[in-house]
Structure 1
């Protein structure tokens, strides 16, 4: 037996003939003629040294050897199908750089960014520092002022305001955040050490502490006003009011995943509403 003459095409034709149980139907399926299929099946039997079919007036039925071959080939066929199955569509990742408060606001509305069903995968880079969009440290960034770099484009959002918040029955003592931000510097400058109840290195922790009734936290109004357990102690502090801009690189503005992300964020961020 010379196995060099057994090719995958002949085996695939054998599967079709075996399943259709005849030449005419199999020929229509594979787009060839019945005589051609007959010759191919005879050649396959000679190559294998086995009779695969019982040829009768009503069609082709499989011999024991034919049934054994078909079962084996169907196992191979199923394995090939699994190996060549297209991968599920991978959702593109979009890196979003934002400060702690804006990142929190975004994360709580994740479904509005990803879409339903999700078609993008946000990657949040939470930092109080400004990352370089020009050098692709982030794809989308939030800035406190309009960018001056010619390669960047921006959409203006609603201004950000800060006000002090506290829970009912909480002592009128302040929570100090040890980061270099305008709001943290304001607390450091305006609140005496005797009025500081505790310190934290993370802005988000100030919210958590305020919610537990520890003291007063200086929070963005779009965060503080959303907390049912907190109330404003004083009106927003004028000197902490600042603009907010949604920024991307001009080369990325027409990428489908970036455009969708920008549009979705802008839709609910422009007025800081759900």
Structure 2
């Protein structure tokens, strides 16, 4: 108020309950024992020893000298404790959806908002809930950095969580009996719409296979060569030993009246 000269009377109400009735600057009704004070000289309203019970709508009504209402002002008094830490929980549902809940520890009148990878969540990503609810259900394909922000008129805090899909895949195929299937299924338990196994790949299909074949052939040839060398030297050694044994004289025992004969063998044939 800039001037109070024309104000003959005013009422102060809290949620439609009259708490002050002042006429010509004299109080006729005061239910608060000076807890609520209004100073017409400068338009100041003061509440002493403020507590949560004082929240609500306050209305100032002014009247002229004839008792007619001349004006009215209303303001709302709100108490809010600051928002503290935020708890973010997620769980997979039976069809691969993900339920995510966001809650604040303390704080009055919290307001929620969600972002995914730095942008607002869209309806295409939400199966249930909206960007202003504290519980949402994400569709099966959604993944990324999810952030829940909680705020009120005092402060704001946020919590981030990296979410991944629940392991479901979307299948879309027609079975041999003509049945068309389109649904989300758990990838590890999928027995539908399985693609036929590929046939054997020829060695010459890729450069890598050709090089592996060449290396294998070289290895086999090397092994065969080593085996051949081993067999050759073993055969040569056996032949040498046989020749040495053949050169040793052999004797035969006969009766006393017999003739002792000695047989000699060498590389050249000769008779003795």
What TM-score do the two structures reach when normalised by structure 2? 0.25
Tell which has more relative contact order, 1 or 2 (C-alpha 8 A, sep 6+): 1
Question: Which protein has the bigger helix share?
Answer: 1
Q: Which has the larger radius of gyration?
A: 2
Question: Which protein has the bigger strand share?
Answer: 2
